[in-house]
Chains A and B, each alone.
Chain A
Amino acid sequence: MKRVEVFRGEYYDSVTLMLVAKELKKIEGVADATLNMATQANLHIMAYASFPVDSIAASPDDLIIGIDCSDDLWPSVLEKAKTYLVSPPWKSREVSTEYNPKSLEGALSVLPEANLALISLPGRYAAAQASRALERGLNVMLYSDNVSLEEEIRLKTLAKEKGLLVMGPDCGTAVISGKGLGFSNVCPIGPVGIVSASGTGLQEVMVQLNRLGVGVKHGLGTGGRDVKSSVGGISSLAAIDALKDDSEISVIVAIGKPPSPEVRQKITDSLKSSGKHAVACFMGESARSDEPGLRYTTGLEECAVVTASLVRGEDPQLARERLWNDYREVETRGRREGAGISGRFLRGLFSGGTLCYEAAQVAGELLGEVYGNAPLREELKLPDSLDPIENSFIDYGEDEFTQGRLHPMIDPSFRASQLKIQAEDPSVAVVLLDIVLGYGSAANPSEEIVKAINSIDRKNGPLFVAYVCGTEGDPQVYGRQIDLLRKAGVYLFESNRRAAIFAAAAVAGKEKR
């Protein structure tokens, strides 16, 4: 029986809640366990999983525990949950015995030479901490989302006055002097400097550059809203200026969705006058001719390929043409392999926002309208992200899924549960996935995905297509993840775009017959 209990004003971070839930699920007789901060989004998800939350009056500052077990077992499991919350058995001895100051000021007394604050608090507390960090002369990486636009503008204006950088809000990835912050892959240091308004966009370009044998010195995030006219590209422009001054950097790359026109102008002007090679990847823009000092690309892999050819002194146009040839071959193969499968629709189930956006764009070109929770056009927005229709792409890293809950790159279990539901839908022909490796990500993300795939109860199930964004140096080891997925019969590709082309072509090939 599914029961819930609310604990008023009890705050725990999402990692702790995930780990306690995992421990509880190991107890014999516990069919399911979930611990969440009681945001509207989490209550919705719990209701969807049939936990009785309808009559619950709870606020985002309250903890809600849901357990599926017998009435006899309930008190002891709940007691166990409370014990684990107070003294987590997995807490590393190193951290628990270390002195951890209670405030930013305390931390500065321990590490006075600190130059960056990495803030991943719930959004409603994050801006105040970021403000304090800037006042004390620290650059800020703001992983938190749910920070208001007004607060973002205030923080970035303050940073500009002080010669500092605010990366974020909603900045998941950065690399500084080869050291990864947040979600980042293990790649060599090299002559490339990147400014990115997109986290997984930055990861994909770095991973693709790594495959081409090219390293990145700095990858600076800005947060997606930075390039909107309201923010004015404050962080993007500051970051480009800083990369210009770095004599070890020979190519500057800017990545993101298309900026507002006036911000776009400022960014391209700055790139063109950098005195270095520059590459822009404004995803979703139609292809445009290169200009002196600035190459335009429309896809993440193309961005990496052009950048690598500039680093090596080769002709970027030749590199592009080789890539288009590869894409045509992938499409042909997709149409061929898709012919015999059952179902009619493509479902993209993503953990990386930009990877989802890029794949949805590719699918849109081959299949027409593609729905989603973060769609290419507002009229294609799904009424309920838990109930996708026709060809749909869901980004499980969107705010609606991450308020008081872990990002799907850290905890793949929720996406895996949705994968099972989608794959068992007889109208689904192809399921497309991204699996993002690196620091910050789950220890073995493919394991849960494969478990879900193997548990699917459907005759003539769908085709599974995946891209693993990672390197051999990543803690999860690229080769190991690939092996796990391949054994489960998943079609694997070397870039996000290739996987998306194959998946969409398989569905398109089917439609023609």
Chain B
Amino acid sequence: MSLKSLLNNGPKVINIGMERFYSDLREQEVETVMVDWKPPLGGKELLGKLRKIRGDSVG
């Protein structure tokens, strides 16, 4: 979809982030989808979760 098609056809939006922007678009009857985004796991948290899974499976 080019910039031209965006300006000619009006916005059809994928919203990633604040839900407020999604609700505002819905209120204006703009077609939109909200992505339920979560930050990628990394570092300590990932290790913690992996250990937990391993612990659970080993018992």
Contact = CB atoms under 8 A, between A and B. Distances in A.
Interface residues of A, number: 59
Nearest to A407: B18
A92 interface: yes
Contacts of B12: 111, 113-116
B37 to A, nearest CB: 6
A287 interface: no
A118 B33 contact: no
Given A61-B39, A104-B14, A176-B11, A116 B33 contact: no
Closest 10 A/B residue pairs (Cβ): A120-B17, A9-B45, A115-B1, A100-B36, A439-B24, A177-B10, A163-B2, A107-B33, A107-B14, A120-B18
Contacts of A163: 2-4
A177 B11 contact: yes
B3 A139 contact: yes
Interface stretch (A179-187, A256-264, A326-334, A375-383): A179-187
A410 B24 CA distance: 13
Nearest to B39: A11
Given A11-B39, A101-B33, A164 B13 contact: no
A15 interface: yes
A31 interface: no
A301 B59 CA distance: 70
A45 B34 CA distance: 31
Given A107-B35, A115-B1, A117-B13, A176 B24 contact: no
B11 A119 contact: no
Interface string A130-141: 000100011100
Interface in A93-123: 94-95, 98, 100-104, 106-108, 110-111, 113-122
A125 interface: yes
Given A95-B22, A115-B1, A440-B24, A8 B16 contact: no
Interface in B1-52: 1-7, 9-28, 30-41, 44-45, 48
A15 B2 contact: no
Contacts of A125: 39-40
Interface of B: 1-7, 9-28, 30-41, 44-45, 48
A218 interface: yes
Contacts of B31: 111, 113-114
B25 A15 contact: no
A63 B38 CA distance: 14
Given A120-B18, A179-B25, A440-B24, A115 B6 contact: yes
Contacts of B9: 115
Contacts, number: 153
A100 B13 contact: no
A121 B16 contact: yes
B39 to A, nearest CB: 5
Contacts of A108: 14
A118 B7 contact: no
A179 B11 contact: yes
B6 A98 contact: no
Given A111-B33, A116-B12, A118-B17, 12 more contacts: A13-B19, A61-B45, A101-B36, A102-B37, A104-B16, A106-B35, A107-B33, A107-B35, A115-B12, A125-B40, A164-B1, A179-B11
B6 A116 contact: yes
B17 to A, nearest CB: 3
Given A95-B19, A101-B33, A102-B37, A180 B24 contact: yes
Interface string A182-208: 100000000000000000000000000
Contacts of B39: 11, 61, 122, 125
A179 B25 CA distance: 8
A250 interface: no
Given A61-B39, A115-B6, A95 B33 contact: no
Contacts of B34: 95, 98, 100, 107
Given A139-B3, A164-B3, A116 B13 contact: yes
